[in-house]
A = this chain, B = another copy of it.
Amino acid sequence: MKKLLLLLLIMFAALGCRAQQALWGAPQIVSPEVHSDNSVTFRLNAPGAGKVQVTGDFLPTMQKDTPYGKFDAPGVADLVKNAEGVWEFTSDALQPELYSYTFIVDGMKMPDPSNVFQIRDTATITNVFLVGGDYADYYKVNDVPHGTVSKVWYDSPTLGMVRRMTIYTPPGYEKGDRRYPVFYLLHGMGGDENAWSELGRATQILDNLIARGEAEPMIVVMTNGNVDMEGAPGETSLGFTPPTTQLPKTMDGTFERHFPDVVRYVDSNYRTIADKEHRAIAGLSMGGFHSLHISKEYPDMFDYVGLFSAAILPREGAVSPIYDNLDGKLAAQFADAPRLYWIAIGEKDFLYDANKDYRKMLDDKGYRYVYRESPDGHIWKNWRIYLTEFVPQLFKNQ
């Protein structure tokens, strides 16, 4: 009896601990529910609400007029209240993908309280769900050997700052004495050192590609491209200061100038093969811009370069020696051309024309690159796909 009481007390404590964290009475409904036909039902228990909507990248985009032209905004769907006061909406059958969404209740954005899976993208939080199958199976945690994901702080003498980054080491790294090639993978504006491992599913993509024998085992280094930040919001000495939606200091040449500090740290703290043939760099949007300018600034550093939906030219007023003499630096880079210079972009991307102009310039000079065009615009769906396509091309036959 005493033991039974103890069991009850412990069970109660299990709930009680959470209660101490203010979590009594969480709704017991299931949301989202992915059905066998890949349609998805969203539910919110909000009997008092007047209007409940869901918005996310699983809905067809809506064209939105802005001062800068038409842009695609995520669609919005209305939930309908059932007899129990639970609001519901069921989507069409969805393609395999990692999707994000949020609710709008009487005009107020809020996460789905039934779905504990959320990803923070700097200043905003969305719920996520995964519809498996096809290429989205690369985004799953499968029953394969797993690499290690570490949050590491490195010293940058150039910036006078100690900064946080994410490093993936392949399965078996801890035990052996084998040396590995290194892939530097850079996020876009609004992201941080967590972006690729979280929204980008880079950890799962690498694990799965390596397990299937489609990619070489490699170290992947994911930096923070905002050089006035030590690291992601909440992870630095600023504490839980709300992240700003203003542009951080970046794309002014500083990140590019400091990049050899990153490479030096990685080469002296990890078992790398520290030469050009065993280094790759790629990034999305601003990270593609960084990859372009870093790889031409240090032409002996990277033999594989990936520009995913990349910005190309520096912004107005960005004065840095990094951005001087683009032609001359590209000439130097392509004099001993990278084994792979990979440019990928969506046909609806607002940076499409900038990339087209850049490709024309490369064509005119006779610089060799591989071009990949995909549907859709400037979205994570494309960047995850580009990653699964780019990584298998790295460090082969060496």
CB within 8 Å of B: which residues of A? 3-27, 30, 45-50, 55-57, 66, 68, 71-74, 100-102, 105-111, 113-118, 120-126, 128-130, 132, 140-143, 145-146, 148-153, 162, 164, 171, 174-175, 188-190, 199, 233-237, 239-240, 242-243, 245, 247, 251, 268-270, 285-286, 311, 313-316, 350-351, 354, 377-380
B242, A116: Cβ atoms closer than 8 Å: yes
Q: Which of B17, B21, B74 is within 8 Å of A189, CB to CB?
A: B17
A171 and B171 alpha carbons, distance in the complex (Å) = 23
Q: Whose C-beta in chain B lies nearest to the C-beta of A235?
A: B141
Q: Please give, as numbers and ranges, the residues of chain B lying within 8 Å of A100 by CB-CB distance.
A: 21-22
Q: Are A10 and B239 in contact (CB under 8 A)?
A: no
A239 & B140 in contact (Cβ 8 Å cutoff): yes
* Smallest beta-carbon distance A103→chain B, Å: 9
Whether the Cβ atoms of B19 and A73 lie closer than 8 Å is yes
Contacts of A46 in B (CB 8 A): 106, 108
**With A57-B22, A100-B22: A247-B11 Cβ-Cβ less than 8 Å:** yes
In-complex Cβ contact of A18 among B17, B101, B123 (8 A): B123
Shortest CB-to-CB span from A26 to chain B, Å, is 6
- Give which listed residue, B113, B140, B285, contacts A13 with CB less than 8 A: B285
Does B66 contact A12, Cβ atoms closer than 8 Å? Answer: yes
5 inter-chain pairs at a CB distance below 8 angstroms, sorted by A residue, are A14-B286, A18-B123, A23-B126, A110-B110, A174-B269
Q: Identify 14 new A-B residue pairs, CB closer than 8 A, beyond the known A116-B242, A150-B150.
A: A12-B71, A19-B71, A19-B73, A20-B57, A22-B102, A23-B126, A26-B109, A27-B108, A45-B108, A109-B113, A110-B113, A116-B120, A130-B239, A175-B269
Contact B175 A124 (CB under 8 A): no
Residues of B within 8 Å of A313, CB to CB, are 3, 6
Chain B nearest Cβ from A119, distance in angstroms: 8
* B123 touching A116, Cβ below 8 Å: yes
Q: Are A16 and B48 in contact (CB under 8 A)?
A: no
A233 to chain B, nearest CB (A): 7
Chain B: minimal CB distance from A359 (Å): 16
Q: Are A10 and B270 in contact (CB under 8 A)?
A: no
Cα A151 to Cα B74 in complex, Å, equals: 33
Residues in B whose Cβ lies below 8 Å from that of A14: 188-190, 247, 286
Task: Point out the residues of chain B lying under 8 angstroms from A109, CB to CB.
Answer: 23, 25-27, 113
Contact B124 A152 (CB under 8 A): no
Contact pick for A7, options B125, B270, B316, CB 8 Å: B316
Bound-state CA distance A286–B118 (Å) is 27
Chain B residue with Cβ nearest A76: B22
Question: In the complex, which residue of chain B has the Cβ closest to the Cβ of A381?
Answer: B20
Which chain B residue has the least Cβ–Cβ distance from A175?
B269
Which chain B positions have C-beta within 8 A of A73?
Answer: 19, 24
Q: Please report the C-alpha to C-alpha distance between residue A240 and residue B57 in the assembled complex, in whole angstroms.
A: 17
- Contact, CB under 8 Å: A378 / B22: no
B20 lies within 8 A of A378 (CB):
yes
CB distance from A46 to the nearest CB of B (A): 5
Residues of chain B within 8 A (CB-CB) of A351 are 9, 13
- Residues on B with beta carbons closer than 8 Å to the beta carbon of A50: 48
Chain B residue numbers with a CB within 8 Å of A23 are 102, 109, 121, 124-126
Contact B315 A10 (CB under 8 A): yes
Bound: A105/B20 CA distance, A: 19
Q: B129 contacts A240, CB within 8 Å? A: yes
Q: Which residue of B lies closest to A139 (CB)?
A: B239
> Across the interface, do A315 and B3 meet the contact criterion of CB distance under 8 Å?
yes
Is B162 a contact of A146 with CB atoms below 8 Å?
Answer: yes
When distances are taken between beta carbons in the complex, the residues of chain B under 8 Å from A145 are: 153, 162
Find chain B residues with CB under 8 A from A13 CB. 188-189, 285, 350-351, 378
